[in-house]
Amino acid sequence: MSLTDTAVRNAKPSEKPVKMYDERGLFIIITPAGGKWWRFRYSFGDKEKLLSLGVYPDVSLKEAREKRDEARKLIAQGADPGAERKADKAAVAALTENCFEAVCRKWLADRKDTVEPSQHVKTLARMENDVFPWLGAKAMNEISSPDVLSVLRRIDERGARYTAHRVRSEISRAFRYAIANGKAERDPCPDLKGAIPAPKAEHFAAITTPKEVAGLLRAIDAFQGTFVVKSALLLAPLLFVRPGELRKAEWSGFDLDKAEWRYLVTKTKTEHLVPLAPQAVAILRDLHALTGARRYVFPGRDPQKAMSEAAINAALRRMGYDTKTEITGHGFRAMARTILHEELHIRPEVIEHQLAHAVPDALGTAYNRTKFLKERQTMMHQWADYLGKLKAGAAVVAITRAA
């Protein structure tokens, strides 16, 4: 006899599973826990098989019969409905694994240990806020250049042109990762070159005149903050390294007897050597008494972590400087680059090597940590002496190119 909806609805569980049969292989199992599961029994290739059709009441008797009839049509056409369903599930799974969001998150996870934690967090936030809502569910091979451009224009139109270019680069890197892993065939981003106008260059605020530098150095001397932060402020103009590299400096990289500091450049992951002037060595020896037993030269509130990335700029603001228009932690680099060349007449290539910038030479060598080393050692000593004279208010005579 055929089942009725009333009979299915009123069926009660017992100690063992109970089967209630409908027509043409359809039946329902009532479990001891009260669940009601639709099943379709059929034969294919001389084998008896079962196909799950869902759970009652989510799937009604009428819907279960429709699913049974669809399965019977497949059997009549020589197809196994169970195999068809597995193939469909596999296709859906493959599509899900190959969607932009899944691939992008895998790319971000794989490179997480090779980038700064803050960079990972910021890139993920850009993707979650500006990209995933529109491209996340699309399969990699279905995303076109116009799809990406639509995302970039949405960012650009809110006045974040630099972010639009940054996102374009990050989308492109996600595609290159997908191509390398067989999940995409091409990167649509190169087609968009020039589609979003280039952002206006944004320079870090910096003080670059000797008179203003003298005032800044005296303000640092008078700074009333923690000894660790003041030491970092004193060293920032002497070393002019990137702020992140200074605050994350580790004692293991310093040889104060040789007056050298070695570390990996964050941007290029290449080893860099900073010759230390006697003034810098003196500051570091003084600080070593406090933090020398720890990993970081400038530990933060948590001794196991480096000083906060906001500490230097916060200190500059406490000293009365506007970090947007006057000076930032990064501005010490521009200060040194400008004055070393214009006032001390140091050759640009020597300065650029000390800044750990790529400067290709005739042989194509982009950067060599020991190149111009003697000249850089002399330059760092002269720079420290020059700053000392500026701070003291002495007249400073430009040093000749022979230096």
Which residues are catalytically annotated? 242, 267, 330, 333, 357, 367
370: Cβ contacts below 8 Å, ≥ 6 apart? 273
3-state secondary structure of 399: coil
Angle at 321 between CA 121 and CA 341, to 5 degrees: 90
3-state secondary structure of 242: coil
Cis peptide before 57 (omega within 30 of 0): yes
In residues, how long is the chain? Answer: 403
Confirm if 192 and 152 have CB atoms less than 8 A apart.
yes
Angstrom distance (rounded) from CA 219 to CA 174 = 46
Angstrom distance (rounded) from CA 130 to CA 42 = 49
Q: CA 280 → CA 25, 295, 351, distances in Å? A: 87, 19, 18
Confirm if 336 and 320 have CB atoms less than 8 A apart.
no
Angstrom distance (rounded) from CA 44 to CA 49 = 7
3-state secondary structure of 190: helix
138: Cβ contacts below 8 Å, ≥ 6 apart? 99, 100, 147
Confirm if 188 and 175 have CB atoms less than 8 A apart.
yes
